[in-house]
Amino acid sequence: MRKLAKRDVMRVIDANLNRSREALRVCEDIARFAMNSRALTSQLKSVRHAVSGIAKSSAVPLKALPASRDSEGDCLRRSRFESEMKRDTLSDIFAANIERAKESLRVLEELFKLIDTQSSSKFCGLRYKVYTIEKRGAKRLNDAD
């Protein structure tokens, strides 16, 4: 098994910073435009901005992250799992994206243990905030169905 290089770690961090913010933005727009919930929209926006803030204040050289990307060489770039393509309701989309956000925050929490343990703890805290937001958002969407 090959040893992970610093570039590999940066690539995982870059992908998960993007993934978490993208997923949070999808949920934020559903909360704003479909749920018309100022509170949920603000909470999701706050978490999304916090992800960026933690990254900016960490020891990770953010300007170097794009250089670590290999979008063309990504072994799963063109794969689409059937479950990813099945979305019947806004609840399905919200649930899938809030799950993506939680998973990517967990990856960031783990990877930052190699670089900046304070930032790792902050990502953990954000993940728990997302658990609470998920519960509120799912309830609101389910009540609307």
User: Domain map of the chain by residue range?
Assistant: 6-62+82-144
Q: What is the pLDDT of residues 7-39, one digit of tens each?
A: 788 889 999 999 999 999 999 999 999 999 999
Q: Running DSSP on this structure, what letter comes out for residue 74? A: -
Q: What is the pLDDT of residues 59-82, one digit of tens each?
A: 777 777 666 655 555 655 555 555
Q: Running DSSP on this structure, what letter comes out for residue 32? A: I
Helices (H), the chain: 6-29, 38-57, 65-68, 82-85, 90-111, 117-144
Residue among 105, 138, 129, 95 nearest 20 (CA):
105
What is the model's pTM? 0.85
Length of the chain: 145
Q: Running DSSP on this structure, what letter comes out for residue 34? A: I
